[in-house]
Amino acid sequence: MSRSLRPTIWECTYWADPNRPITWGLVSGAAAAAEAPEWKKVSAKRFGIKDSMIPDEAWNVLHRLRSRGYDVYLVGGCVRDLIMKKTPKDFDIITTADLRQVKDTFSGSAVIVGRRFPICHVYENNSIVEVSSFNTYARGSTSNQIYTSKSPHCSKNDYIRWKNCQGRDFTINGLMFNPYAEKIYDYFGGIEDIKKAKVRTVIPAGTSFQEDCARILRAIRIAARLGFNFPKETAYYVRTLACSVARLDKGRILMEINYMLAYGSAEASLRLLWRFGLLEHLLPFQAAYFSSTRFKRKDKGTNMLLVLFSKLDNFLAPNRPCHNTLHEALVRQPRDPLVVATFALALYLGGDMSLALDIGKSINRQHNTGFSELLEPQVWDDKHLVGEVQSLAVSMRRALTEMTDEYFVANAMAKIPQAPSSDLVFIPLQAYLKVLKLIECVQHGKKEHGYEPKRDGNIDYHDLSYGTPAEVRNVFTLVVFDTLYPSNTENQQDLASNQDSSNKTNPSNLD
């Protein structure tokens, strides 16, 4: 990438002492390709932001810190989401108080966590509100270069806010909101990038991603969740520095992958990971599948893995992801759609194979014929259908075991010519054992003792967030049936009108 870069030099003067001006010489050097955006202070009313959009837990923390004389702001993604009229998944606060002062303010209900960039977790009504300190960010700053310019005069508070935002990852996350003054502070053009649907780094993308390669994964996650694009510079360095994410701690990668596959953006995340050369580093089994099927980015309905995740997105927008062991088993050995449906029903019913057979054989809806993982349907007697369902369970168990084994993960990469080797395993042991237990109920054809399936198809997102077996079974079955038997136009209109979703879970409604 060759560009004409024009350096800018400016001074920001504020009065720390009324008798002594302090001048900050800030140099952007060759980092800015054009004039940086103008600093803006925008009324929150312009975006229709109301007090009621901020939860009580966040207000309680804001009020108590402010009552002690500290300045407080909402910061980061929650401000972005409020502007976009989305419901933030959490509300982060930054304050002029030290973290020790924050902890003292909430004595007994706050704890300081983290080493490199410590924050304070404040516990409010079974929720956690994250509070950071301007002082922590100031001490943790290692950058000697400033990559932007601004208006010629700024106050001390402006400088402190600006300096903090300059250390953030993306312009759309570099926003601060004072809910008492009803002002949003935008020092890096975040509001304009929201309007343009762009994920742009605050400092030059190459520098930003080299400083913290986890920002590459966050860029993918945010773009997928919001449906945003990358500017050319950001896109170039996401692709060029993709291999650097392998240096991250596995726990950190697992957290980012889980975030990507949650919040209704799993399909979009997989597409972006593949497009920018990250999938083979992070999810080698899925990368091998895409490679073997010669997947094209514009594919909208013939890739079963993406359809499965698309259906998952429809149900799990605010909650946890799940693993795709079923799909890996079907890639290895395609199955009759009735076999897959009966397996899902048996799992939903806690291993009650007899009832699963009765319901499954009553299905007369046309299955999706666009997937190579599904065979043409045939007529089965009960004995052979049970055998096929249990064989699928064995195949799923084998696939799950191999997806947690570094040797098999590394071998999966051999299917992708010139791909980097990867032995990363992202399924934690606890999750592996939990899923294995569900599969074994079907494999052995024995109903789980004391298990009762849900009586309706409504998703309890609280239970799902904790991975309760009944809710995992429920959502798994919803996703499988929506993938196997796509709704017709009339059904889609019914769903759009918020028709009771139990119609989709009650197997008797499939005939």
Per-residue model confidence as pLDDT tens digits over 300-336: 667 888 888 888 787 765 434 344 566 667 777 888 9
Nearest to 223 by CA among 252, 245, 201: 201
Name the residue type at position 361.
K
Q: Are 214 and 252 in contact (CB under 8 A)?
A: yes
Helix (H) or strand (E) holding 130: strand 127-133
Label residue 450 left, alpha or beta by phi (over 0 means left) and psi (-120 to 50 means alpha).
left
CA atoms within 13 A on the CB side of 269: 26
CA dist., res. 181 & res. 110, Å (int): 26
In the chain, DSSP finds a helix count (H) and a strand count (E) of 24, 10
Task: Indicate the residue among 203, 233, 261 that finishes a domain.
Answer: 203
Task: Indicate the residue among 150, 176, 203 that finishes a domain.
Answer: 203
- Are 358 and 258 contained in the same domain? no
- Are 193 and 314 contained in the same domain? no
- Are 370 and 468 contained in the same domain? yes
Q: Are 201 and 214 in contact (CB under 8 A)?
A: no
- Are 69 and 84 contained in the same domain? yes
Domain-located, residue 353:
yes
Q: Are 253 and 332 in contact (CB under 8 A)?
A: no
- Are 243 and 369 contained in the same domain? no
Range of the domain at 248: 206-282
Tens-digit pLDDT string for the chain (511 aa):
333 333 332 333 333 333 333 333 333 444 443 455 678 889 999 999 999 999 999 999 999 999 999 999 999 999 999 999 888 888 999 999 999 999 999 988 999 988 777 899 999 887 889 999 998 865 545 444 444 444 556 788 888 898 889 889 999 999 999 999 999 999 999 999 999 999 999 999 999 999 999 999 999 999 998 999 999 999 999 999 998 998 888 778 878 888 887 667 888 999 999 999 898 888 877 887 888 777 776 666 678 888 888 887 877 654 343 445 666 677 778 889 999 999 999 999 988 999 999 999 999 888 888 888 888 988 899 999 999 999 999 988 888 777 776 666 666 656 555 455 555 555 666 777 878 888 888 888 778 777 777 777 788 877 777 778 888 888 888 888 988 988 753 343 333 333 343 333 444 344 4
- Are 235 and 158 contained in the same domain? no
- Are 236 and 186 contained in the same domain? no
CA dist., res. 123 & res. 129, Å (int): 6
- Are 362 and 267 contained in the same domain? no
| DSSP letter for each residue of 50-96 | -GGGS-HHHHHHHHHHHHTT--EEEETHHHHHHHTT---S--EEEES
- Are 361 and 413 contained in the same domain? yes
With tokens 């038997």, the residue in question is: 485
Q: Quick one: 247 exposed, middle or buried, by C-beta within 10 A (0-12, 13-18, 19+)? A: exposed
**Which residues sit opposite 25 in a β-bridge?**
11
Q: Quick one: 284 exposed, middle or buried, by C-beta within 10 A (0-12, 13-18, 19+)? A: buried
Label residue 69 left, alpha or beta by phi (over 0 means left) and psi (-120 to 50 means alpha).
left
Q: What's the CA dihedral at 311, 312, 316, 322 to 10 degrees?
A: 180
CA angle 449, 433, 357 (to 5 degrees): 45
CA dist., res. 392 & res. 388, Å (int): 6
CA dist., res. 437 & res. 425, Å (int): 20
**For the stretch 428-442, what's the b/e string if a residue is b when 16 or more beta carbons lie within 10 angstroms of its beta carbon?**
eeeebeebbebbebb
Q: Quick one: 175 exposed, middle or buried, by C-beta within 10 A (0-12, 13-18, 19+)? A: buried
Name the residue type at position 435.
V
- Are 69 and 212 contained in the same domain? no
Classify residue 37 by its DSSP letter: P
Domain-located, residue 428:
yes
Task: Indicate the residue among 203, 223, 245 that finishes a domain.
Answer: 203
- Are 211 and 178 contained in the same domain? no
Q: Are 396 and 340 in contact (CB under 8 A)?
A: no
Tokens of 131: 């509070």
